[in-house]
Amino acid sequence: MFSGNRASQVFVFLLLTIAEQWTQSSASDTLLGLEWFRPIVHTPVGCFRGLRAQDGNYSMFLGIPYAKVDPENVFGPPIPHRFKGIFDAVDDTSRCPQIEEFNHTITGTLDCLHLNIYVPNSASIDNPLPVMVQIFGGKFQFGFAGRYLYGPRFLVRHDVIFITFNYRLGPYGFMCLNTYKVPRNQGLKDQVLALRWIKENIRYFGGDDSKITVAGNSAGSISVDFHVRFLQEPLFNRVILQSGVILTKQLFKDPDPEAPLKLAKQLNYTTNDINDALSFLNRVEPHALIAANRDTGLVVELCVEKQFDNADNFITKHPNNINIVRDVDVLIGFNNDEGYVAVTTMKKEKFESEDFVSLLLDRDFKFENERKLYEIKKIIRNFYYGDDVPHADNRRPNMNLYADFSFYSPILRTVRKYLDSGLDNMYLYMFSYSGERCFVKDKDNVSYTEGGASHADELGYLYDISYMKERLRDEDILIVDRMTELWTNFVKYGNPTPKPTKLIPLQWPRVSQDKLPYLEINTELRLGSRPMHERMSFLDLLYRHIEHYQRDKQGVNYETGNYIRIWS
């Protein structure tokens, strides 16, 4: 009896192991718990042995190196990676060098260009699943792709493959120099290599490479906007932009061509030669370089690239001077109180000494004439403050001012730019739920019972954040279910509400040249139209009026000589 049972178990086990190798079968992960009963995927760039997830019916392939940082030139172009034999894809903890945002410690190594793939058991070569790739945010200075923040559990339930990856940050990813060795925007070029890797290899994991959605939040969303505008290769079909577009912040600052000299000096190496400084910095321990970058206060930025022979050029013009050539489906939106945490947590003295109007206006505009500047600022002050002056006990006017200039107007102008370029399958959302899983409120210790949804708060409702496992009250579950259903419907069908369901009992119309409908996501789902239309109309009129005072930044338009159009 006993031995008969055992024999059949072993037989079933062998069959399953064979099936596993070829089809990613959906056999129970706990069957025997043996080490070699692990999913293996063969691809032209290597074999990857992953893990069975314990919290759902899916497999994980963690820490796959999609590219390498060139040890001879750590600030230069990434090198594609391939290897022989079997790679143990079990570690999602790598990070590129950075000051991380949770404990503010310097962390990370240059062995960091890795991706994590989460594959539902239903995926196979015969049943390929749509793919959702997530680009993390963090001001192009911090962030990492592991399950610490981007846990896949809520998304993979909906039968999509989910992927996250690291890219270089700060001085390693975004030094803007005039040398062919560092042809600029390396972090974005890391992203392009990751997307290329996914397009070429995801089918071996049971992915459908004709249905790839690239999603991003904040700086990740800004990255997505770059890929929509600049990437000529058809590496994806759909995009999700959460609270970030190129226009949302001042990118394209004048690059500091002396950054390497300043960094080297901070590290006690004095030279006047950029290449000499670079070869010194190349050997510096990454944590020391990150510290030096912090101590010199150098700003790393994206920038328009000089054209160098043999360099892989990406951003060759100012983004507003480019015509979007590829057709993609778009899900785009924002949270209803983007500025809440940033403005709430400002120290009282800083809040009261900061002139928000000047800060936001001077960022994009330059007036030759003091009188004109004074008039414009007065109109803006009257609009937001009436006859009051901002004070720390009433921060609401500045929250709106900041959010309007930095998020809502730029995002809605981008919607218009996309429409004008012919992208017509586009859905607009406003996320307004504030609960225990709000990511930034929680991180910055701001009570979720006040204010609306702040910047990046939605992350807790898409991802299984490792330190929020217990926070799943009924309302939070409802919002997680709605967000992940809408997002993955879009990934699968290019339409977030293909048919009404109990969970989402409505159909969400797309935007058009005439109408700007949007879905407000909360415990009640609500269809609205033209979000914040009074404030946005004010900004539209303002921008039209002062359009010709836009800053003409050095280094931005030497290619075309065109005016930089903040207004598009």
Instruction: Select 30 or 445, whichever has its Cβ closest to ligand NAG.
Output: 445
Does 54 help bind ligand NAG (rule: CB under 6 A)? Answer: no
Does 424 help bind ligand NAG (rule: CB under 6 A)? Answer: no
Tell me the closest approach of the beta carbon of residue 305 to ligand NAG, in angstroms.
31
State the Rg of the chain over Cα.
Answer: 25
Tell me the closest approach of the beta carbon of residue 120 to ligand NAG, in angstroms.
9
Tell me the closest approach of the beta carbon of residue 147 to ligand NAG, in angstroms.
12
Tell me the closest approach of the beta carbon of residue 1 to ligand NAG, in angstroms.
28
Does 57 help bind ligand NAG (rule: CB under 6 A)? Answer: yes
Q: Six-digit token pair at 202?
A: 């995801």
Catalytic residue among 20, 59, 94, 218: 218
Does 56 help bind ligand NAG (rule: CB under 6 A)? Answer: yes
Instruction: Select 109 or 537, whichever has its Cβ closest to ligand NAG.
Output: 109
- Closest to 214 measured CA to CA, from 176, 167, 263: 167
Tell me which of 5, 54, 103, 272 binds ligand NAG, using CB under 6 A.
Answer: 103
Does 369 help bind ligand NAG (rule: CB under 6 A)? Answer: no
Does 21 help bind ligand NAG (rule: CB under 6 A)? Answer: no
Instruction: Select 338 or 442, whichever has its Cβ closest to ligand NAG.
Output: 442
Instruction: Select 37 or 280, whichever has its Cβ closest to ligand NAG.
Output: 280
Tell me which of 268, 272, 310, 369 binds ligand NAG, using CB under 6 A.
Answer: 268
C-alpha span between 32 and 160 (Å, rounded): 27
Has 524 been annotated as catalytic?
A: no
Burial of 28 (0-12, 13-18, 19+ CB in 10 A): exposed
- Closest to 539 measured CA to CA, from 375, 361, 388, 418: 361
Whole-Å CA distances, 371 to 322, 362, 542: 34, 15, 16
Tell me the closest approach of the beta carbon of residue 423 to ligand NAG, in angstroms.
35
C-alpha span between 301 and 140 (Å, rounded): 8
- Closest to 221 measured CA to CA, from 322, 329, 331, 118: 331
**Phi-psi group of 79: left, alpha or beta (phi > 0 → left; psi -120 to 50 → alpha; rest → beta):** beta
Does 550 help bind ligand NAG (rule: CB under 6 A)? Answer: no
Q: What is the dihedral of CA 515, 519, 239, 559, to 10 degrees?
A: 50
Instruction: Select 206 or 494, whichever has its Cβ closest to ligand NAG.
Output: 206
C-alpha span between 334 and 332 (Å, rounded): 7
Does 100 help bind ligand NAG (rule: CB under 6 A)? Answer: yes
Has 94 been annotated as catalytic?
A: no
Counting runs of H as helices and runs of E as strands, what totals does the chain give? 17, 18
Does 445 help bind ligand NAG (rule: CB under 6 A)? Answer: yes
Tell me the closest approach of the beta carbon of residue 100 to ligand NAG, in angstroms.
5
Tell me which of 267, 462, 532, 556 binds ligand NAG, using CB under 6 A.
Answer: 267
Instruction: Select 103 or 449, whichever has its Cβ closest to ligand NAG.
Output: 103
Tell me which of 83, 102, 180, 374 binds ligand NAG, using CB under 6 A.
Answer: 102
Instruction: Select 282 or 313, whichever has its Cβ closest to ligand NAG.
Output: 282
Q: Six-digit token pair at 461?
A: 């409702």
Cβ distance 539 to 409 under 8 Å? yes
C-alpha span between 477 and 485 (Å, rounded): 12
Stretch that binds ligand NAG, among 44-52, 97-105, 483-491, 535-543 (CB under 6 A): 97-105
Does 30 help bind ligand NAG (rule: CB under 6 A)? Answer: no
**Sign (positive or negative) of CA dihedral 429, 432, 438, 439:** positive
Does 285 help bind ligand NAG (rule: CB under 6 A)? Answer: no
Cβ distance 160 to 206 under 8 Å? no
Tell me the closest approach of the beta carbon of residue 51 to ligand NAG, in angstroms.
16
Site string for ligand NAG, 134-163 (x = CB under 6 A): --------------x--------x------
Quote the DSSP letter at residue 406: I
First-residue to last-residue Cα distance in the chain = 77
Cβ distance 41 to 48 under 8 Å? yes
Instruction: Select 22 or 102, whichever has its Cβ closest to ligand NAG.
Output: 102
Tell me the closest approach of the beta carbon of residue 272 to ligand NAG, in angstroms.
18
Does 272 help bind ligand NAG (rule: CB under 6 A)? Answer: no
Cβ distance 550 to 567 under 8 Å? yes
DSSP string across 283-315? HS-HHHHHHHHHHHTPPP---PPP--TT-----
C-alpha span between 455 and 475 (Å, rounded): 20
Catalytic residue among 20, 301, 338, 485: 338
Does 496 help bind ligand NAG (rule: CB under 6 A)? Answer: no
Tell me the closest approach of the beta carbon of residue 95 to ligand NAG, in angstroms.
8
Interface contacts to ligand NAG, rule CB under 6 A:
56-57, 100, 102-103, 148, 157, 267-268, 445
Catalytic machinery residues: 218, 338
